[in-house]
Amino acid sequence: MGLVPESPSPSGSLAWDQLQALAPPPPDRVRGVTNAQAQLRLFRSSESEVRVTLYRDHHAWCPYCQKVWLWLEEKQIPYRIRKVTMNCYGDKESWYRQRVPSGMLPALELDGRLITESDLILAALEAAFGPLERPLEDPEVLALRQLERRLFRAWCQWLCCTGEAGPASEPAERHFEKMAVLVEAALAVHEGPWFLQSLSCVDLIFTPYLERMGASLSYYKGYGLRQCHPALDRWFSALEQRSTYLGTQSDFHTHAHDLPPQMGRCLASGTAAQVACAAQIDQGPWITPHDGSGGSGTGPAAVAASPVLETRQLEPPGAALEALARVLKHRHTLVAVNPYSGAGFDQALACALTRLVGGGVACLPPPGSAPGLRYLRDRICVPRDMSLHAARRLRQALESTAQADPAGALEAPTPIPTNQRRDQDPRRFAPA
Ligand SMILES: N[C@@H](CCC(=O)N[C@@H](CS)C(=O)NCC(=O)O)C(=O)O
């Protein structure tokens, strides 16, 4: 890679200041590309022109927030962002409850007027700033919005209500299939990958749940939404070429573990295909040798071979360094919140980051550090922490370092809780 200084420490890992020197400066969150860390988005406007504040959840788990977020980004409306905790991962901020007693997200302030309910929010934004390609109340748009809700209900039914493989789950699976075929037929009405002639509000309305369907059906049912539905694959691929979508896009691992507490439960079918998909999502490999440019499932050969089609976007340059910068920013908190971070964990983390940047594959972490490394691996949250490809690089580096732990190479990590995610309480990461 040519990035790594010549002389790492005796343990084989780079020193913290050497790692810091490799980390790129943070990108322009305010005027640059869509990103999950911004608190203000100006595009080409000045701050005095901001009329909108979006209240969305800290971790970008809320699908209704993603819909509004994408709309603002596609229309390049300047706005502020205030982040709020969801019940499943922490206590709601009291200032938010004073504003929105139900605590529900998203909410939006437009010229000082508070609006809740994502559809009403989009309607208010449309009235103020004009439609995104076609009005929400256009008859073709309305019919497609209803179809989105039908697909959503079919997904909930299959994912949450029928757990057994075989006849018990077949009607729900068949019904979902039928709805997905209707969505494919709707995509075939116009030329090009989108629901209408070009990207419109309809695509943004479908995005949050189609993203979550792809992830959850792969993890809990071993079902490849994109593999089974070529028009949906084409639609996802077109989205993956937009920086707006990429800035809000999550990954399969994040959704597989953020959905159970939000949905009540997600039932795994237990088939061989499902077990294989879940294992790949949880344990990798995230980067495969098929993949010249890096990123499991991104090169054509890897996509064909993998049961998990998470993205077709090739790994962009700089993914590993993006991950490095994000870990370094929160290094001390990451160590403090990790229940396994005893003595030596800091050293293990330096070792993993050295592997991440392409140096020190011989670097051995202190004995017993594997559980802490895997705990961190399992809590990377996309896009809250970093992009999908950066997360793959980091997961891979943490896991390969854990495997080099002479005392616990095979030690299983503590399972991620399914009824709540207080392990993801954002308070300790709040800026001072
Ligand atoms: N119909 C509402 C649904 C919003 C909704 O269900 N929000 C969930 C998050 S996805 C929520 O805020 N739940 C309370 C919480 O999680 O704290 C909308 O479209 O805005």
Across the chain, mean pLDDT equals: 92
Q: 116 phi and psi, to 5 degrees?
A: -120, 175
For residue 305, the model assigns a pLDDT of 53
Calpha distance 151→323 (Å, rounded): 35
For residue 109, the model assigns a pLDDT of 98
Calpha distance 72→66 (Å, rounded): 10
For residue 288, the model assigns a pLDDT of 73
For residue 164, the model assigns a pLDDT of 58
Is residue 140 within 8 Å of 194, Cβ to Cβ?
no
Does ligand 1 lie within 6 Å of residue 115's CB atom? Answer: no
- pLDDT one-digit tens code per residue, 298-313: 454 445 456 799 999 9
For residue 5, the model assigns a pLDDT of 52
Model confidence at 420, pLDDT cuts 50, 70, 90, reads very high
Model confidence at 231, pLDDT cuts 50, 70, 90, reads very high
pLDDT: is 139 or 432 the higher one? 139
pTM: 0.94
Distance 310 CA to ligand 1 centre (A): 25
Residue with tokens 């961190």: 376
Mean of the pLDDT values across residues 367-389?
96
Distance 62 CA to ligand 1 centre (A): 7
Calpha distance 364→401 (Å, rounded): 7
- pLDDT one-digit tens code per residue, 327-341: 999 999 999 999 998
Does ligand 1 lie within 6 Å of residue 87's CB atom? Answer: yes
Does ligand 1 lie within 6 Å of residue 104's CB atom? Answer: yes
Calpha distance 53→128 (Å, rounded): 14
- pLDDT one-digit tens code per residue, 1-12: 445 554 456 578
Distance 262 CA to ligand 1 centre (A): 9
Ligand 1: atom nearest CA of 87 is 17
| Domains in the chain with CATH codes | 16-24+318-429 (no CATH), 40-129 (3.40.30.10), 139-283 (1.20.1050.10)
